[in-house]
Amino acid sequence: MRDDPKERAALGRAANAIAPADGIARRRADFPILARTVNDRPLVYLDNGATSQKPQCVIDAEAHYYAHLNANVHRGVHRLSQEATDAYEAARDIARDFINAAQREEIVFVRGTTEAINLVANSFGARFRAGDEILITGMEHHSNIVPWQLACERSGAVLKVVPVDDSGELDAAAFESLLSPRTRIVGLTHVSNALGTINPVRELIALAHARGVPVLLDGAQAVPHLAIDVQALDCDFYAFSGHKLYGPTGTGVLYGRRALLEAMPPWQGGGDMIRQVSFARTTYNDLPYRFEAGTPNIAGAIALGEAMRYVRDLGLDAIAAHESALLRDATERARAFPGLRLIGTAREKAAILSFVLQDVHAHDVGSILDHEGVAVRTGHHCAMPLMERFGVAATVRASFALYNTHEDVAALFAALDKVREVFGDA
């Protein structure tokens, strides 16, 4: 198929005529990087599951800190330190509101979801003993597998895994049967990064709590797409990253139920997490600071607060509706595309489309798409056990965000036609 920019635009207009834009995508002008080109073509950025682009207000918030507030927090009596502390703690209040935590002390700033899960695995996991069980699922990101494996190595605990069915949904009956008197924690992804499956976490949490088992949710792929209320979910821990939520890299949040956090030992020692230090003993700071050792990413936390404010003001329900329309469009096109096999067809999905093309390696697909200006992710998506479950080494993953359009979907499939042209109709 000949690639024609006018034809690509016409396809996009036709798709929009079928599913009118709700106004959300018009905010793409807020994201300066989307104005650039790749290989002399307009950038079509569909790798949001890996990291999202940043609106100008987030970029400005980080720059403003360094230009006008740059000082350490919690330590100084001078004006800059006080203003930096106020801005940093205001971001904590925004995070508390964003996920509806009961108290600001339940919000711990971390470098991202990976650090948040490692914090819990090391600190809460300090109580694990030989024969205890940790329950995770077959669709977890490596960051919700490896920290628990390390905890098992330290303690002698045993890792149990809930299976995934052919559509990419969890086996709920198996989940319930795997909960045992020895289960000490459940680690569960809210939304699968590789499949887009939205897990029925509220029901699964209720099953675990009925047996007295706490639950950690990996929310890295959920917070950009779904309104999160940790009190309504009744989860015990919730972890997410800033960079997938239109915020800076190296930022994130761990929510922890206060009673649990208060019973957990610090997992890093240093400045700001202490109350009193002598060579004889150290007493630790109050929540949340006992888990925030050292100088934090102050600028990043402030900019993350701005990102959460930006998303909150747009409305996650509106964002979800817009992205759902994009996913329906992409799924319909995928089902009709010759030789394409969807990986992950759960009934409830976030805006992620994973697939393989017959006889074409995922990396080759990604390279040709990049030549056409379309950015997707190819590989195992840090979910090797899940790839093995579906009998593939890698998939192509197109993941959508609030600034994507039906024209972007059309561009993806026009570029996939180019793949067929290069490799032939296998």
Q: For residue 397, what are the β-bridge partners?
A: 354, 377
Q: For residue 395, what are the β-bridge partners?
A: 379
The answer to whether the CB of 360 falls within 8 A of the CB of 383 is no
Spans of all domains in the chain: 5-30+315-423, 58-313
> pLDDT for 325-354, tens place per residue?
999 999 999 999 999 999 999 999 999 999
Amino acid in the structure at residue 333: R
Q: Which member of 57, 152, 235, 382 is catalytic?
A: 382
At residue 48, does pLDDT exceed 50? yes
> How far apart are alpha carbons 426 and 413 in whole angstroms?
17
> pLDDT for 348-390, tens place per residue?
999 999 999 999 999 999 999 999 999 999 999 999 999 999 9
Q: Which residues contact 198 (CB under 8 A, 6 or more apart)?
A: 190, 191, 222, 226, 346, 348, 349, 350
Taking the domain 58-313, which CATH number applies? 3.40.640.10
Q: Is 152 a catalytic residue?
A: no
Residue matched to tokens 């330290």: 154
Instruction: State the average pLDDT over residues 395-423.
Output: 97
> How far apart are alpha carbons 335 and 387 in whole angstroms?
20
Q: Which residues contact 79 (CB under 8 A, 6 or more apart)?
A: none
The overall pTM is greater than 0.75:
yes
Q: Residue 104 is encoded by which pair of tokens? A: 């600001």
Do you find a cis peptide bond into 288, omega within 30 degrees of 0? yes
Residue matched to tokens 């036609």: 417
pLDDT of residue 425: 61
Taking the domain 5-30+315-423, which CATH number applies? 3.90.1150.10
The CA-atom distances, in angstroms, between 21 and each of 69, 180, 299, 326 are: 39, 48, 34, 10
